[in-house]
Amino acid sequence: MSDMISLIAPCLRGLSFDGNKGKIVLFSEKSRGVSPAIKTGVLTEENYAEELTKAWKPGTALVTVEGIGSFYLGESYDEALALADGKLCTPAEAATVADRNGVVKNKTALVTGGAQGFGEGMVRGLAEAGAFVYIADMNLAGAEKLADTLKAELGRTCACAVSVNVTDEDSVEAMMNKVARTTGGLDIFVSNAGVLKAGSVKEMTLKDFSFVTSVDYTGFFICTKFASKQMTIQNKAAKGYLTDIICISSKSGLEGSNKNGAYAGAKFGVIGLTQSFALELVADGIKVNALCPGNFLDGPLWSDPNRGLFVQYLNAGKVPGAKTVADVRRFYESKVPLDRGCTTEDVMKALFYTVDQKYETGQAVPITGGQVMLN
Ligand SMILES: NC(=O)c1ccc[n+]([C@@H]2O[C@H](COP(=O)([O-])OP(=O)(O)OC[C@H]3O[C@@H](n4cnc5c(N)ncnc54)[C@H](O)[C@@H]3O)[C@@H](O)[C@H]2O)c1
């Protein structure tokens, strides 16, 4: 049997949207033991959706599930939220905010690989725009540090660290169960964790090729598998509600990359997955889109002095005539019509657009400074 919380909590969260009370479900372990306003029968995998829909009353519900705990909705939500020292508004309120950044206000998001680089930038951008963000990363210490920093900077509980290895099904499933237990579900899932190993096709080991493929390509499949299951339950209960799965592909997902085939292959591949998943998941109220950033030259992937791409590309001889890291950097800047590297602010604009746009799915949005122009 599945983890019942991963079925029940998203269903309740969705029902709370459908009730138009706009109270987002928050399940708290701390809420155990409070007497329930509504009792359901014993919930099973087969009957939970029907039973909860029958039991649900907007604005009042508190459902106790035998052996599992209590789910707060409606009036008890503020109390549960106070425990988290946070403040969320309703999806309806969020939707009326005119500013594009308002499209994520009071929504719940998750960013894999959120501890550093583009992921950190998106976590920050989402939190600053009013979202609650799970920082999901293999580097749990880094994710926790970022969550603490953001809480201190923004003065509210705006982030939560969660450990994950996106190449491991059990790990991703456990991450989504944590989401179900904590906020009941999700509005935005950003599949961002990625790795890069550059090298000639003649020299690259199968081990390195498989490593890149497992994180950058297979990781997106695994994440979408578990995120979409949860969103499907939630959105079924909240008919007409749209949620987003966003894959961070790359400029290298739109055109080939010399001596970088494993990476470009995976980044092209996730666009194929994006289109295919979008076709299937539209029936579940889930949009699936990819963002294709250009080179984030100031980020650690490029600038790390030991393992960064500038050093890797210098050593791989990828840039003809380059003798220093600075030569490699200039080479990449000069290839961009807008004459600079991509920044996280550039990526956030595309992310906000993608979430805000309710009439698009299965797209790959370029953010390349004009370096790649679509046909
Ligand atoms: N940096 C760029 O120039 C650039 C350009 C276009 C696209 N991208 C894409 O943006 C995404 C982020 O890139 P970045 O430059 O910020 O990378 P980064 O190396 O700075 O950060 C990647 C993060 O992902 C985490 N991670 C790695 N493997 C993981 C796994 N198996 N499970 C969970 N977490 C894992 C790391 O711990 C790290 O925090 C990647 O998908 C990358 O391909 C980057």
* Range in 96-110, 144-158, 341-355 the model is least confident about: 96-110
- What is the CB < 6 Å shell around ligand 1? 112-113, 115-119, 137-139, 164-167, 192-195, 215, 248, 250-251, 293, 295-296, 299-302
* Rounded Cα distance, 223 and 289, in Å: 14
* More confident call, 142 vs 319: 142
- Domain spans, the chain: 1-84, 91-294+344-366, 296-341
**pLDDT at site 93:** 36
Query: Alpha helices of the chain — where are they, by DSSP H?
Result: 4-18, 48-55, 75-84, 91-96, 117-128, 140-154, 169-183, 206-213, 219-237, 261-281, 300-303, 309-316, 325-334, 344-356
Report the residue among 175, 192, 217, 309 best suited for mutation to probe ligand 1: largest number of ligand atoms under 8 A from its CB.
Answer: 192
Is the pLDDT at 203 greater than 60? The verdict is yes
- Tell which CATH architecture fits domain 91-294+344-366: 3-Layer(aba) Sandwich (3.40)
Ligand 1, atom 25: closest residue by C-alpha: 113
Write phi, then psi, for 291 (nearest 5 degrees): -110, 140
**pLDDT at site 191:** 99
Which atom of ligand 1 approaches the CA of 219 most closely?
31
Which atom of ligand 1 approaches the CA of 116 most closely?
39
Give 236-286 pLDDT, tens digit per residue: 888 888 999 999 999 999 999 988 999 999 999 999 999 999 999 999 999
Distance (Å) of CA 74 to CA 27, 58, 121, 224, 322: 12, 7, 33, 29, 62
Which atom of ligand 1 approaches the CA of 191 most closely?
41
Q: Would you place residue 58 in the very low, low, confident or very high pLDDT band (cuts 50, 70, 90)?
A: low
Report the residue among 221, 301, 307, 351 best suited for mutation to probe ligand 1: largest number of ligand atoms under 8 A from its CB.
Answer: 301
Strands 69-72 and 62-65: antiparallel
Q: Would you place residue 88 in the very low, low, confident or very high pLDDT band (cuts 50, 70, 90)?
A: very low
Q: Would you place residue 37 in the very low, low, confident or very high pLDDT band (cuts 50, 70, 90)?
A: very low
Active site residues: 263
Q: What's the pTM? A: 0.87
Distance of CA 299 from the midpoint of ligand 1 (Å): 10
The rounded radius of gyration (Å) of the Cα atoms in the chain is: 21
Report the residue among 118, 208, 255, 342 best suited for mutation to probe ligand 1: largest number of ligand atoms under 8 A from its CB.
Answer: 118
Write phi, then psi, for 77 (nearest 5 degrees): -65, -45
* More confident call, 117 vs 94: 117
Q: Would you place residue 1 in the very low, low, confident or very high pLDDT band (cuts 50, 70, 90)?
A: very low
Contact yes or no for 227/176 (Cβ under 8 A): yes
Which atom of ligand 1 approaches the CA of 249 most closely?
7
